[in-house]
Amino acid sequence: VVLNRHYTYNYCSPTRASLQSGRLPVHVSMDNDEPTVLNPKDPVSGFAGIPRKMTGIAEKMKSVGYNTHMTGKWDAGMATWDHTPMGRGYDTFFGYYHHANDYYTEKLG
């Protein structure tokens, strides 16, 4: 992946969703919602984070034989197992799901 321009928002969720999905944030996630937010009237894409019908970078890489591992802050959805890194195609994950972690106290802040 070659990034030769500045592609970021003033908070992390849209940029993370964009990097994971390969799509512009406007098509994925523009909000910095709590990761467990859901809209019960929309069981397909009514969750915070990347909609399940969108393919992510880990799923694409895994489909051509790569092992996939994620470390760090996910913050691209965790309302269901399918929204977590393992549900999105990563073999392993070591990090935080949430966007409000304090790395020193290890609590939400």
pLDDT at 30 over 70: no
Distance of alpha carbon 85 from its chain centroid, rounded? 7
- Which pLDDT does position 69 carry in this prediction? 97
- Which pLDDT does position 98 carry in this prediction? 77
Return the number of other C-beta atoms located less than 10 Å from residue 28's C-beta: 23
Contacts of 81 (CB under 8 A, 6+ apart): 87
- How far is the C-alpha of 6 from the C-alpha of 19, rounded, in Å? 13
pLDDT at 64 over 70: yes
pLDDT in tens, 72-108: 888 888 878 888 899 999 999 998 887 777 777 767 6
